[in-house]
Structures are given as C-alpha cells and as structure tokens.
Amino acid sequence: MSREQSHSRRTVLKLTGIATVSTVLAGCGDGGGPGEEEPAGGGEEPAGGGEEEPAGGGEEEEPAGGGEEEEPAGGEEEEANETEEDGEESGDGGGDAIDPETEIELIGETQGWQGEAPDDIADEENPTLTLQEGESYDITWENGDGAEHNIEIRDDNDEVVDDYQTDTMGEEGETQTLEIDEVTDEMATYVCEPHETTMVGDIELA
C-alpha cells in the first residue's frame, strides 16, 4: 500500500467515527434515550380532569312532596266533630227557659210523665223543665191511664217546696193545674207521689 492510500483510509475511518459519535449524541438529545418508555396515555390527566363529580350532580334531592309537611289525616273531621259536640245540649228539655206565659202540659202515666206542651218538651218522657227564676208558671197535667196520680215540687232533700202539691186523682182524662207563684232555686224535681220512682223529672233554672 502506498503512503497516499494509507492516508486516505485513515481519513475515511476518522470521518466514519465522527459520524457515529454524532448519531449517538443526537439520540441522547431527544430525551427519549434507549430504555425509556413514554407513559401510557401520553401523560394526560385522568378522564374528567381528575375530579369526580358526585352522583346526581352533587345536588341534594328535594324530599318527596316538595319538602312541605302533609296535614295530618282527619284534621278536618276532628274539627267538625268538636263543633257538633259543642252544639249538643245535654238532658231532655234543656236549653232556653220556657216562656212564663206558656202553660206547661203533661200527661201522667205510671211509667212516667209525658210532655205535651210547649213544643220543646213534647213527646218526651219525664222532660226537664227549664224555668226562669222569680217567674210564675202553671203546670197542667192529665191522668192518662186511670191510676192514682198527683204532682208535687220537691227540693234536693226530696221535701215538698212551699206546699206546691195536688191531691191524688184516679179518673182517666181528668186534669189538674198546679200554680207556681214564684220559681226559686230550691226547686229540683216534679214528682208523682204514688209513683215517685218512675214519674219524676228535673227542674232547671235559667
């Protein structure tokens, strides 16, 4: 080999080595050298930006019925029942006092006194007589069954008040009138003496 050929070969080898070094350096400069793999997904953030929104959009569901409380069942019925109870009068013949100008009429029978007049006591058995204190009244009664009857006014001690009583009579259809000059708070009941367990009614004052 001549001297010129030997020089040319060294020059080629030298250039080849430089090219090889340049290639290696170029690979290192890319930041993706041998053995390094790019993470799956290209390093992007997790789906949804990394923040998961709670199910239902994060808003609390409004309670069924719009959050309004339901009125207890039967509220109107209870109110209606209370109104009816308040309007009821206790006791037969209770309520407004009998007009002193109105004659009280009864029928006397062994099983009990039967109301005739006024209309407030009509057809009632042993009706309560509501009288105005201090007023005068006439009580007329008719013998309805032919048994012995009378009428008298008694107090709470079962004593006759101010001699308000009649004689007994036993003729069916016969009538008697007991005149009360002044109603007092002593008067509690009207009674038939022979049948005081069945023919007895209350007297109330207005």
Q: Residue 44 CB: number of other CB atoms within 10 A?
A: 8
Tell me what pLDDT residue 178 has. 97
DSSP readout, 159-178? -EEEEEE---B--TT-EEEE
SS3 201: strand
Distance between CA atoms of residues 152 and 204, nearest Å: 15
Tell me what pLDDT residue 200 has. 98
| Residue 175 in this model has a pLDDT that exceeds 70 | yes
| Location of structure tokens 């042993």 | 126
pLDDT tens figures, 183-197: 999 999 999 999 999
Provide the whole-model pTM: 0.56
% the chain with pLDDT above 90:
53
Tell me what pLDDT residue 89 has. 39
Domain ranges, ordered by start, for the chain: 104-205
* pLDDT interval class at 84 (50, 70, 90): very low
pLDDT tens figures, 123-171: 999 999 999 999 999 999 999 999 999 999 999 999 999 999 999 999 9
Please state, rounded to an integer, the average pLDDT across all residues of the chain: 74
- Which class would CATH give 104-205? mainly beta
14, 118, 138, 141, 146 from 172: Cα distances, Å: 164, 22, 21, 11, 4
CB 109 within 8 A of CB 145: yes
